[in-house]
Structure 1
Amino acid sequence: MPAPVDALVFGATGFIGRALTAELLARGQRVAATLRSRDTLTPWLTARGVDTGRLTLHPADITRPLTGLPQARDVYNAAARYAFGLDARQARAANVTGALHVLAWAATLPRLRRLVHLSGYRVSGTGLTPDYARQGAYEASKTEADLALRARAGELGVPLTLVNPSTVIGPGQYVGLASLLEDLWHRRLPALPGGPDVFLPIVTIGHLARFLAEVPAAPAGEHYWVLDEDTPPLPELIALVARHTGVPAPRRSVPLGLLRRLPRRLTGVDPETLTFLASDRYPTASARAFAERVGLAMPPAGEALRAWADDLVAARFGAAPPPPAPYGFHAVAGSRTWVIGERHSPTHVLLHGAPLNADCWAPLAAALPGPVLAPDLPGLGRSSPTSRPLDAWLAELFAPVRTRPVLVAHSLACGPALRFAAGHPDRISGLVLLSPAFLQAPGSRLVRSALAAAALRRMPAPRLAAQLGLPAGPELVSAAADLHRPGVARRMVAALRTANAEREEARALLDRVTVPVRLIAGADDPPAVPVRHPLTEIPETGHYPQLTHPTALAAHVAPHAG
């Protein structure tokens, strides 16, 4: 028989379950976690610095009667099948039968303090009967489970607490509301579903995990609706995220009644999601009182939504691993600028060239000493455009910087970096120009790679990589994803043309800069004109040494740090 534990978490590999497990371990509890398949929990915890010494893992399938699990004081059921489009059999197996199996097993525990079950804010305590045809399999199964657990727990004398969270947001959440925000980001949301009073409340994963950790010590017999009542109505919520990310918000709405009648192929909306779009409010008084007693406070809804929007964009809405934090959108000279890294004390500021974004610096940043600051240029990558000159944008980007970093620029960014160095020599300790566009011949690969805005927008990552003579790594996947967004490819081509037009001006300015300057190029992509400044050529590489030879490049960039 496994050793007794303080808490056992079913569904510990899920979005809520893993956060709860991390919270319990951080509080020094002995935690058992159930796994249905391979262990994805331990790597996730380790990557976040969570000590797993008090964690044990146990195979379990809640769709079958449970045996062989350790004795536990507190039991959490965060296991559920959360998806739309399920059939009734699939949904009931995990959400109803599975929940009753957990309850039956908990009833056998001699020292059980509490069984905490994650239900739902739209289904719990509503008095509804499950209607699989009207609600859809997911919501109907959660309704059925809620009713069945309440009745069976009373029969067995199990101390049950139902926790009913609303839309849970935070890093790693890519379903539900996240799908709506993804459509917003990609300009695929021409109109909002419902009217101005649609209330889709949120709760952050951090607050929910802390709340759950406190529940077993609360008085028995109470159930809790955990949601932020200050969540703005859906149109305001969407507008808030749109302002933060620099994309336009839809101005029109479609009544829910019409959406329900229209075929899905026209609306792109799963009918099951429409049941969550309502103006209803929920009985949160007990949860608010309990949170106040144990010293918990929700972060402001706007702050939480903006942070989550950053997380969603960083992870490409679940399609890619996010870069190391910090990252996010910042207001810079009229642009909602995507910034990765340290805004105040960087040792290097890295400006990307075409047709890339700030992600292209990840291999080099890993090889450089000290923190870096890497933005997407305005109108490119994930940054929104600005009507102000690029030089003004760069000056404002540097406004919060307290150090004198090395400014490293690639390709078309070399011209603006050179002008900044000439106008603000006291702000940087050195200038590194990597494959400068203004030193290339007009027929270089840089110019040829532009092709046309339409071609760039249609170009998948493998084809883009082939066009640039690079492997199709994550940096090229990231660049291609941004080029597919409306307007980015067109602005990229315009930036290339501007860099080409400023060629002679930049060459003349190069000889007048007073800060230390180093020119670096790939041996296969040397400057087309002679230069007076020191030139380093990296063997066996072309226009993008930060991607092909980051370690060799770092050895030449790092000595400039002051």
Structure 2
Amino acid sequence: MDALVFGATGFIGRHLVAELLSQGQQVAAVVRDDTRTPWPTDTSGLTVIAADIAQPLSGLPAARDVYNAAARYAFGLGVEEARAVNVTGAVNVLEWAATLPALRRLVHISGYRVSAPDGRPDYAALGAYEASKFEGDLAVRRRARELDVPLTIANPSTVIGPGQYIGLAGLVADLWHRRLPALPGGPDTFVPIVTIDYFTRFLAKIPEAPAGEHHWVLDDDTPLLPELVSTLAAHLGVPTPRRAIPVALLRRLPRRLTGADPETLSFLSPDRYPTASARALAEAAGLEMPPAAEALRTWADDLVGARFGTTTPWLEPYGFHDRTWIMGERHRPGHVLLHGAPMNADLWAPLAAHLPGPILAPDLPGLGRSASAHSTDAWLADLMAPVQTRPVLVAHSLACGPVLRYAAAHPERIDGLVLIAPSFLQAASPRFTRSLLAPPLLRRLSPARLAKTLGLPEGAEIKSAAIDLHRPGVAHRTIQALRKDHAEREESRALLARLTVPTHIITGSADPLTAPTIHPVTEIAGAGHYPQLTHPAQIAGLRLVRSRGA
């Protein structure tokens, strides 16, 4: 084997395996459970082997380079639980690597707060995770000298990227959910980052460099924590905490009050780190870190898109643009899908699976994940500005009014309209109206209760909507949007009667129109107010709008 990677299903390990495979290397991935295959790349050069590094190792294939990315990364661990992998396991890997006849390099991945040439880790003060990493680092150095193993230790800071949901991700989650009333630490607190893509490329270059030098791998230009949080808050469209709590005070306050894990507090430090050797290796290898602020914003998109590790986004690319959550193709969509209340763009996942061509699906301003304060009409004009095609606009419920106004103002920009359950042509649902008497009531709806209120099965789209409604401000803005839509009913009806753009209306038999229209109408038997959720294939099978170019 060219390389053997321990801990290959962990966050760093699986990305490292993918990087090595992309370079054409023959890679052995050592995992505890060989039924998992988490590498989204060509695996023709991959061999998966099950082994437990907490036990002495034998019977593994020989390799030129060995990487130990295995670690027990969690807070609140017991001492023995942490030491089994972070200390005993690390030494077991080194002692096995020492038996390889043609070993070029053992790369041990440690941490930026734990590596030191001497000293003893204080488990009581540091906690089991950090102390065990510290002890493991010392043990690996010492045993490598005894066995004359060519060792390089890589000490990464907080590694960010798709799939990283612990560590700093917890702070981002608190910021997103408005559970961060104050910043931890002081104005000089430095929590450095490094992206997973950069770090794995760096790791792949280590065996080519001389042995014996260890590297702190982090971005020295990472903003200080107050600026880092402010950058993320501006991108996510949430308020930046204005107060700060010193670490010394956080240590004295009860955890139930601060929400801070005591083991994370030592990472809130102004300390800087010796990165000269890592920067020299990177320069020689032609590696360049992405700008820290850009990397943080991209990671924040990944965190929100994956709901902090609880789901997988149904459409790519995705992310925030000017505080609007946008999924799909921004420049050449065939369909632009605009949701109604109390949903978000995830409403369209079932229908989008049946539609041809690229799709653009945003969260409306102030709803779902979007925080844009623009009026919906101005927001829609901005959304469509970079679009180079003439897409079909598909709107649901309260989104139908703004779409009508855009179509009337810019008929040359679109190929037609599809209005699904246009609220201004229907009677308001009494059951839904009763459930929206006040924003606090809407905010407290569980996914099951929301599904029952809407008369829908409880699925991923309902869960997604409920999660957003629980965020401060979203329920209130949803109520405002519904009231505004109701106030514009007559205006929308009049505009629809004058509209010359090809338009098709779809409604469910259980949610019929109550006002006449001159445009074609298709009624879906057995459907209610959300036929795109309950009958997506039937809707996609309709010839909705005859193309003007046909």
Instruction: Calculate the TM-score normalised by the size of structure 2.
Output: 0.98
TM-fit CA distance, 1:396: 0.9
Give distance in 1, aligned partners of 2:544 and 2:135: 62
Q: How do residues 132-281 of structure 1 correspond to structure 2 at under 5 angstroms? A: 132-281=123-272
Match of 1:349 among 328, 336, 351: 336
Question: Is structure 2 residue 13 aligned with structure 1 residue 17?
Answer: yes
Give distance in 1, aligned partners of 2:117 and 2:108: 16
Q: Which runs of 5+ in 1 are unaligned?
A: none
Q: Say if 1:369 and 1:558, in contact at 8 Å, map to a contact too.
A: no
Q: Say if 1:314 and 1:323, in contact at 8 Å, map to a contact too.
A: no
Identity of aligned residues (%): 68
Q: Say if 1:450 and 1:496, in contact at 8 Å, map to a contact too.
A: no
Q: How do residues 152-551 of structure 1 correspond to structure 2 at under 5 angstroms? A: 152-331=143-322, 336-386=323-373, 388-443=374-429, 447-551=433-537
Match of 2:106 among 102, 105, 115: 115
Letter in 1 for 2:31: L
Give distance in 2, aligned partners of 1:469 and 1:295: 57
Question: What do the CA deviations read for 1:343-379 (whole angstroms, capped 9, x no partner)?
Answer: 1111111100011000111111111111111111111
Give distance in 2, aligned partners of 1:230 and 1:358: 35
Instruction: Calculate the TM-score normalised by the size of structure 1.
Output: 0.96
Give the equivalent residue in structure 1 for 2:66.
75
Give the equivalent residue in structure 2 for 1:32.
28
SS of residue in 1 equivalent to 2:314 = coil
Letter in 2 for 1:489: A
Give distance in 2, aligned partners of 1:128 and 1:183: 35
Over 3 Å counting, the alpha-carbon distance change for 1:140 and 1:510 in structure 2 is: same
Give distance in 1, aligned partners of 2:157 and 2:316: 27
Q: Say if 2:418 and 2:545, in contact at 8 Å, map to a contact too.
A: no
TM-fit CA distance, 1:532: 1.4
TM-fit CA distance, 1:452: 2.8
SS of residue in 1 equivalent to 2:308 = helix
Over 3 Å counting, the alpha-carbon distance change for 1:96 and 1:502 in structure 2 is: same
Q: Say if 1:72 and 1:109, in contact at 8 Å, map to a contact too.
A: yes
Question: What do the CA deviations read for 1:167-202 (whole angstroms, capped 9, x no partner)?
Answer: 000000000100001000011101011100000000
- Report the count of equivalent residues: 548
Q: Say if 2:215 and 2:275, in contact at 8 Å, map to a contact too.
A: yes
Q: How do residues 65-104 of structure 1 correspond to structure 2 at under 5 angstroms? A: 65-104=56-95
Letter in 2 for 1:527: L
TM-fit CA distance, 1:416: 0.7
Give distance in 2, aligned partners of 1:135 and 1:560: 67
Give distance in 1, aligned partners of 2:546 and 2:87: 63
Q: Say if 1:406 and 1:560, in contact at 8 Å, map to a contact too.
A: no
SS of residue in 2 equivalent to 1:66 = coil
SS of residue in 1 equivalent to 2:296 = helix
Give distance in 2, aligned partners of 1:265 and 1:382: 28
Give distance in 1, aligned partners of 2:150 and 2:487: 74
| RMSD, aligned α-carbons | 1.3
Q: Say if 1:167 and 1:176, in contact at 8 Å, map to a contact too.
A: yes
Question: What do the CA deviations read for 1:30-82 (whole angstroms, capped 9, x no partner)?
Answer: 11111212532x2x32xx3x111111111100000011111111100000000
Q: Which runs of 5+ in 2 are unaligned?
A: none
TM-fit CA distance, 1:149: 0.6
TM-fit CA distance, 1:477: 0.6
TM-fit CA distance, 1:143: 0.6
TM-fit CA distance, 1:529: 1.7
Give distance in 2, aligned partners of 1:460 and 1:106: 52
TM-fit CA distance, 1:401: 0.7
Question: What do the CA deviations read for 1:294-353 (whole angstroms, capped 9, x no partner)?
Answer: 11100000110000000001011112222332101111xxxx110001111111111000
